[in-house]
Amino acid sequence: MKSISLFCSFLAVSTAFGQLPGKIGLFDERTDVGNPTIKGEVFYNPDTQQYTLTGAGVNMWYKTDQLNFLWKKMKGDFIISATVEFIGTGTDPHRKIGIIARNSLEHNSAYADAAVHGDVLTALQYRETEGGESEPKPQLVEGDGDQMAFEMMKSVNIEAFESIDFLHWKFRGKNLYTWDKNKNLVVISWSNKSVHLNLDKLEGYAFIDGKQAGDLRTKMLVKKAWTYWCNDSYWLMAPFKVFDPGTTRSVAQLPDGTKGLWVEYASGGVTPGDGYFWKLDKNYRPIAFKMWVSVLPIKGIEAGWSKWISTDGGAMFSTEHKLPFMVSTMEDIKEGHSWSDFGFTAVPEFPE
Render each residue's pLDDT in the chain as its tens digit; 352 residues. Answer: 555 544 443 333 333 333 345 689 989 999 999 988 889 999 999 999 899 999 888 877 667 889 999 999 888 777 788 888 888 877 777 788 888 888 899 988 888 788 887 876 676 677 777 876 557 789 999 999 999 999 999 999 999 999 999 999 999 999 999 999 999 999 999 999 999 999 999 999 999 999 999 999 999 999 999 999 999 999 999 999 999 989 999 999 998 899 999 999 886 554 567 899 999 999 999 999 999 887 776 778 899 999 999 999 999 999 999 988 789 999 999 999 999 999 999 999 999 8
Q: What residue ranges of the chain are covered by domains with CATH 2.50.20? A: 139-342
What's the rounded Cα separation, in Å, for the pair 159 and 167?
15
Closest C-alpha among 38, 49, 280, 292 to residue 149: 280
Round to whole Å and give the CA distance between 320 and 304: 7
String of DSSP letters for 156-199: TTHHHHHT-SEEEEEETTTEEEEEETTTTEEEEEETTEEEEEET
Domain covering 139-342 in this structure, CATH number? 2.50.20
Cα(first)–Cα(last) distance of the chain, in Å? 31
Cβ-defined contacts of 241-247 (< 8 Å, 24+): 242/149, 242/152, 242/153, 243/149, 243/153, 244/268, 246/272
Residue 312, burial from CB neighbour count under 10 angstroms (0-12, 13-18, 19+)? exposed
The CA R_g of the chain, rounded to the nearest whole Å, is 22
| Confidence (pLDDT) at 237 | 97
How far apart CA 266 and CA 331 sit, in angstroms, is 30
Residues 285 and 311: their CA atoms lie apart, in Å, by 16
